[in-house]
Structure 1
């Protein structure tokens, strides 16, 4: 059931050229530009990789989840799915699964592009696991929450801007090495810190970074539970 819903959602996503461009072309084009702009330099790759991952999480997962759920709610697609045998959890999982997998796949492809363009291999590759999983989980939960306060799919370009901006800015803060503890209050800082540590940066803030990502994910999930709507907004 989940696989069937996922395939159907992927087809709907690809039929919408604007949504497909935001989910696929925009992050790939930006990530490729960031990598090629380094022009063989050996320093600064941590920031490049951080931006690549955050654009994948931000555009491919967060904005796409917000837009897709809002559009499916407004055209009563979600409501129709609830009348079937599938539970609410199965319906949401099926709708979100292709976006999550696409975000992960795109992040891995962009990492490969950076390495091919001259980026050094990560010294602590295991630290990329919580960055990837946490980034996708946080962006997905935030997208579900934002869809609840978004009236139409067109408005998603506005309602997603604040969190997307905070995600990117926080990631850039975190990728610069040691940061003050209060900076972890900005979403994305923990992700940037984990990427920096994976590429040889200081590792003494890995624990706070993982905790920050986990807490932001829990908070986004709580907001998603509170604000998500199955029925169209009046």
Structure 2
């Protein structure tokens, strides 16, 4: 009986570990798997590997994070991504990077990264940042950050950054996926194609249909 229980416990542990592994980027089985841009139509929970004989140093290189993003938009923020689309060598590495520029009073609006935790470092300026926990608590954690400060946004949770100061701000953030994805809440809800029926949105947000029409018109 003891042996059977030990075998059952080992099987349950293996199942739990395998489930955890499936919840993150695929692990490396070799030194690297440089994404083959000529095989964009082939996906194996990631991108197909480039032939080893064709790999060059440029597959692991990107230049441009010294350049400020264009913040002349409604939100006053610009994201410069460095993920597997920019560096093919990131394929299967489980990591990526972004630079975010904020105009004075600029906002990186409420969004989530479905495949990634984010750790953010302020390079210039000050930010008011926060994230909200999942149902049913929906507790918000916020912090004012200054140059050199670091903050973590847990995987999948809604978060934001707001430059409350009169000067521009810049951050560098690392993400725990080669392709973390981003779901901007307002865009997804009010700007989907085709649109979510306004009667459904009106009931979800407990507002009049006219209010929903006004919101959808912004996107």
| TM bracket (short chain) | under 0.3
Q: Which has the higher strand share?
A: 2
Larger RCO (CA within 8 A; separation ≥ 6): 1
TM-score by length of 2: 0.27
User: Which one has a bigger Cα radius of gyration?
Assistant: 2
Q: Which has the higher helix share?
A: 1
